[in-house]
C-alpha cells in the first residue's frame, strides 16, 4: 500500500508509514501514525519491564538473585524494587547508547530467550514428565527443535556482518557467557550451602 504513495527505495527509515504520509502532504495522518507508534512502543516497553521484574522476583525467591528483588510493595503487591532497578537501567541505556545498537541487542536477546525456552521445555518433558501442565504443546520434540533451529539461525544472521562478528554480537556472546558462568556458580554455591546445612 505504501509503495503506491512513494518509491520503496525511500522506505528504509525508522518510520516508513509516517514518512510516506508526510511526503504525500498528509501531515495530520503522519502525526497520528507517529503518535500511535510511540504509544505502541511505550506499551511494549512497559510490559517488558513488568515481565522482567516478575522474572527477577521469582529468581530472587529461588535464591538466584539478591533478596531485594523479591520485595513486594505493601499496597500494590508488585515487585517494586525490581521495577525501579530495571527501569533505571533501561533509562540509562536509552540515554547513552545509540538506538541502532539497543534495537539489535533487544532483538538478539529475544532470540536467545526463545532458544533457551525451547531447550528448557524439552528438558522438562524428559526430566519432569509427571509435572502438571495447564497447556501442553503437541509434538514438542518436533516443534521445539524447529523453534530452536530457527532462533539460532536468525541469531547467527544478526551477530555477523560480512563474515565478521559485529560489536553487538560480541556483547551478546559476552552476556550469554557471563550469565551461564553465574548460573553454574550459583548452583554450586547453593549445593555447597545445602551440604553445609546437612
Residue 74 corresponds to which cell in the numbers above?
A: 505493601
Q: What is the pTM of this model?
A: 0.67
Q: Which residue has the higher pLDDT, 197 or 90?
A: 90
Domain boundaries, the chain: 1-96, 98-198
Q: What is the rounded average pLDDT for all residues in the chain?
A: 83
Flag whether pLDDT at 6 surpasses 80. no
State how far the Cα of 165 lies from the Cα of 108, in Å rounded to an integer: 13
Residue 2: per-residue pLDDT: 64
- The per-residue pLDDT for range 9-58, each reduced to its tens digit, is 776 766 777 777 777 777 787 788 778 877 887 888 888 888 888 888 88
Q: Which residue has the higher pLDDT, 90 or 15?
A: 90
Q: What is residue 130's DSSP assignment?
A: T
State how far the Cα of 48 lies from the Cα of 104, in Å rounded to an integer: 16
Q: Which residue has the higher pLDDT, 127 or 15?
A: 127
| Helix or strand (DSSP H, E) at 165 | strand 164-165
Residue 197: per-residue pLDDT: 62
Residue 163 corresponds to which cell in the numbers above?
A: 563474515
φ/ψ of residue 161, rounded to 5: -140, 125
Residue 60: per-residue pLDDT: 86
What percent of the chain is modeled with pLDDT above 70?
93
In the numeric block, the cell 527509515 is attached to 13
Please state, as a whole number, how many other Cβ atoms lie within 10 Å of the Cβ of residue 167.
Answer: 12
Please state, as a whole number, how many other Cβ atoms lie within 10 Å of the Cβ of residue 63.
Answer: 14
Torsion of CA 47, 106, 119, 132, to 10 degrees: 0
Amino acid at each position: 500500500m505504501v509503495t503506491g504513495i512513494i518509491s520503496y527505495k525511500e522506505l528504509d527509515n525508522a518510520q516508513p508509514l509516517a514518512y510516506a504520509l508526510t511526503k504525500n502532504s498528509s501531515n495530520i495522518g503522519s502525526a497520528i501514525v507517529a503518535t500511535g507508534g510511540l504509544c505502541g512502543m511505550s506499551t511494549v516497553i512497559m510490559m517488558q519491564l513488568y515481565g522482567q521484574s516478575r522474572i527477577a522476583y521469582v529468581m530472587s525467591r529461588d535464591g538466584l538473585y539478591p533478596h531485594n528483588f523479591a520485595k513486594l510493595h505493601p499496597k500494590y503487591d508488585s515487585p517494586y524494587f525490581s521495577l525501579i532497578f530495571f527501569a533505571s537501567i533501561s533509562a540509562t541505556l536509552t540515554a547513552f547508547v545509540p538506538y541502532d545498537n539497543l534495537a539489535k541487542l533487544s532483538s538478539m536477546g529475544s532470540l536467545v530467550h526463545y532458544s533457551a525456552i525451547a531447550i528448557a521445555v524439552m528438558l522438562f518433558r524428559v526430566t519432569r514428565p509427571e509435572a502438571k501442565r495447564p497447556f501442553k504443546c503437541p509434538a514438542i520434540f518436533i516443534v521445539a527443535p524447529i523453534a530452536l533451529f530457527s532462533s539460532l539461525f536468525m541469531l547467527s544472521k544478526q551477530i555477523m556482518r560480512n563474515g565478521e562478528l559485529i560489536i553487538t554480537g560480541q556483547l551478546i556472546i559476552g552476556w550469554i557467557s557471563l550469565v551461564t558462568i553465574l548460573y553454574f556458580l550459583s548452583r554450586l554455591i547453593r549445593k555447597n550451602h545445602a551440604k553445609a546445612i546437612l
